[in-house]
Amino acid sequence: MKSLQLFYECWLEVTKQKRYHDKWLTDETYFRAIKAQFPTLESLGFDRGRLNRAISTHGGTTLDDFTEANCSGRFRRKAGGYDPFGNPYRNVWGYYVTVEGGRVERPPGGDKSFFSLLQDKLIGDHYSVARGVSEVVDLTTEITEQSSVKRKADAKLTPIDEAKKPKHGSPGANILLETWWDSSEAKKLFLGDSSDERDVVEVLEQRIERLQQVNRTADGWRDIVDRHDKDNLCSAFDVFIIRQRCSILCLAYINALEEMNVARWIEDCCAEACRDHSKIGIEAAGTNERTVARWNILLRGNREHFPLPNLKIQRQIKSLPDLLEYFQEEVTLPWIEYCIENLADLTVELAHNELFTTILPNALAQQNQSFEDGVDHEEGSRTDGGQKNDCLLQIYTDFPISQTTTWRWLRHVGFSYDSRKKSFFVDGHERPNVVFHRNEFCMQYLAKLEPRTYRWVQLTKQAAEQYKVEKKILDDDNHGYQYLSEEGFPMVEFHVDDHEFLHDVAEEMGFGLFGGNLSVRKSPDVRPLLIFGQDESAYSQFLFGNRQWVGPKGQRPLLPKTNGLSIMVSAFQSRETGFGVDIDRIQMDEINAARTGQCYADKEAAMAIKGQATKKDLTQSPFVVYFELGANNEGYWTYNHMAIQFEDCLDCLKVLYPHFDFAFLFDHSQVIQFEEIDCG
């Protein structure tokens, strides 16, 4: 009897005992129970892994079906973690056995939730054979026959044959223990290399699990595709083909595990998978058994991933080096971020040193820490490819790449080496830190500054409802602050910008001077507020575009060699005063009288621009300043100019609007790096 079939029948015999019914029990419990009831199985290499393989091979995927279609009364579930017996972290199989035709509710998706269902402790350590229960098969007979074959084979061995004797046992022993899956033919077919040391059956079981995951979640297909299609290059049709391909190949692998000892891979297993899927309309990806066989070659030769189905996309994508491909978050992204932050001074040497003196050691330390914390699986539970990937960090740390390879890696991740030249500013408005500060500023502006301005209008609730009837305000419009007046009437407060017609309403209500009324939410302890914004711009006499009209015969106008005279304008404006602030002669005299004998707060700026710290009389409004640019004219606009203009404007506002507070919003450019100054 074949070993796996024998192990499976032993498991069925044990599950007949009622003490194992209606409980979620781990594979370790069944392994110990079978070993206690059938002690002679040890001579056939019986262990927990072979038990799971036997159940998977002969029980089939029916065990994974929690619907009415599964009438066997046997179910299973896999989860990663620590079993109740203190074994290292591994993939734990749980089995639930009940009466034939019975059902159990599907366990929850989380691993921890599933482990809470296990009841192995109820079984205890007593796995002795129940009274009246005998072994499934008389294994003594098979072992006796095996020993006889071994003795006869040893007697016929010549010295030459002795050299050819397998290391793991005699040919007689292999008659019983070895199957087709242990042959070099199986390794070459499914692993691509006859010398590969991995267990073929375990690899196929892992592939089946990964292929099944493709159709279990919306994005499950990404795990089977090169680079997880992180750039979203696959179309909806590509995803459709990937899902069908995985379904067909998965069934072909299942057929192989069940039948390959007596069946053929292409003509039987692949052909049967195509026929079964064709019956339910899954045939867009392929209906030929040889096409399915080629998918197996693609999967084994592409590190257990399918290449992108679109050939044009495949040619455009250049695969990253293994280190950058498998450690995106730990190595690739931090390296790219560092290079971008230091782009002005970036060299190949600088990028190389950062990668191998900082980023790689940190990634290796994190990996070692995760192993110490028990995150890694027990030995044998990880694929050989996963173990190789874990070694990459140590290999590259011990043997760093050269400067030339670093240059190539920079090209791989998108950098290019070009001549140094001026460029435009890269838009960073949506960077996380910018978005955070923008939201913070908007909250402060809308909640603290706007309520203190003359930009509001108050209406009765009845008037607001009438505007809705007139369709000036939509029914689902949520603008407006509702409150009760001092007389107890329901009121609604709107910002004048909420609706265009509210500007006219504010004018009719007598709020036309500043465009609206103060908000009822303004604290009575604070004064009204005027908000000013500042910006500057340069204008040149001969400023032309990059393109021009050319005559039929190539005639072109003569262009000046320079841009001519350049004027810079720095201006303040607000909603209440418009562009700048108009100041008449009488107001200017009052302002100058208030400034007499005062010094500028920033004396260094005053000395640099005015030649003295004492304030001089103003002759015109400082809210709009014209400045001739150039080394031969007034120089260039700097912080000193801005500081003087700001304080002159503040002196004017204190005289013109003595009952107001003022807020200033400045354009933050390289030439205007403001320092905090006290202007009184």
Q: Which of 638, 640, 598, 639 is nearest to 618 (CA)?
A: 598
Distance CA 183, CA 352 (A): 46
| 31: three-class secondary structure by DSSP | helix
CB-CB contact of 29 with 15 (8 Å): no
**Cα 666-671-676 angle, rounded to 5 deg:** 55
CB-CB contact of 241 with 250 (8 Å): no
* Per-residue pLDDT at 571 exceeds 70: yes
Q: Which of 168-172, 203-207, 418-422 has the least mean pLDDT? A: 168-172
Q: Which of 56-70, 152-166, 285-299, 342-356 has the least mean pLDDT? A: 152-166
Neighbours of 99 (CB within 10 A): 9
Q: For position 423, what pLDDT does the model report?
A: 62
* Neighbouring residues of 223: CB distance < 8 A, sequence distance ≥ 6: 210, 213, 214
H or E, element range at 6 = helix 3-14
H or E, element range at 566 = strand 566-574
Distance CA 392, CA 398 (A): 10
Q: What is the pLDDT of residues 605-652, one digit of tens each?
A: 889 888 899 999 999 999 999 888 775 666 778 888 889 989 999 999
* Per-residue pLDDT at 203 exceeds 60: yes
> Across residues 235-256, what is the average pLDDT?
91
**Cα 89-92-94 angle, rounded to 5 deg:** 155
Q: For position 270, what pLDDT does the model report?
A: 92
* Per-residue pLDDT at 290 exceeds 70: yes
Place of tokens 């099944």: 212
> Across residues 456-472, what is the average pLDDT?
88
Q: Which residue has the higher pLDDT, 608 or 668?
A: 608
* Per-residue pLDDT at 161 exceeds 50: no
User: Secondary structure of 61-118 in the HEC alphabet?
Assistant: HHHHCCCCCCCCCEEEEEEEECCCCCCCCEEEEEEEECCCCCCCCCCCCCHHHHHCCE
* Per-residue pLDDT at 469 exceeds 50: yes
CB-CB contact of 7 with 54 (8 Å): yes
Distance CA 658, CA 13 (A): 98
Q: For position 422, what pLDDT does the model report?
A: 64
H or E, element range at 569 = strand 566-574
Distance CA 156, CA 175 (A): 16
Per domain, the residue ranges of the chain are 3-137, 142-178, 181-316, 329-412, 432-508, 529-544+560-665
Confidence of residue 249 (pLDDT cuts 50, 70, 90): very high
Confidence of residue 41 (pLDDT cuts 50, 70, 90): confident
Q: Which of 32-46, 197-211, 374-388, 528-542 has the least mean pLDDT? A: 374-388
Residue type, 402: S
Q: For position 646, what pLDDT does the model report?
A: 92
Q: Which of 453, 541, 466, 533 is nearest to 497 (CA)?
A: 453
Confidence of residue 383 (pLDDT cuts 50, 70, 90): very low
Distance CA 230, CA 227 (A): 6
**Cα 524-527-529 angle, rounded to 5 deg:** 130
**601-604, long-range: CB < 8 A, 24+ apart:** 601/647, 601/677, 601/678, 601/679, 601/680, 602/640, 602/643, 602/644, 602/647, 602/675, 602/677, 604/640
Q: What is the CA radius of gyration of the chain?
A: 41
Q: What is the pLDDT of residues 512-531, one digit of tens each?
A: 778 888 898 988 888 999 99
Share of the chain above pLDDT 90, in %: 20
* Per-residue pLDDT at 62 exceeds 80: yes
H or E, element range at 279 = helix 271-279
Most confident option among 147-156, 365-374, 635-644: 635-644
Q: For position 335, what pLDDT does the model report?
A: 92
> Across residues 525-548, what is the average pLDDT?
84
Residue type, 176: L
Distance CA 113, CA 366 (A): 27
* Chain center to CA of 549: 50
Write out the DSSP string of 523-538. Answer: -TTS--EEEEEEEEEE
pTM, two decimals, is 0.42
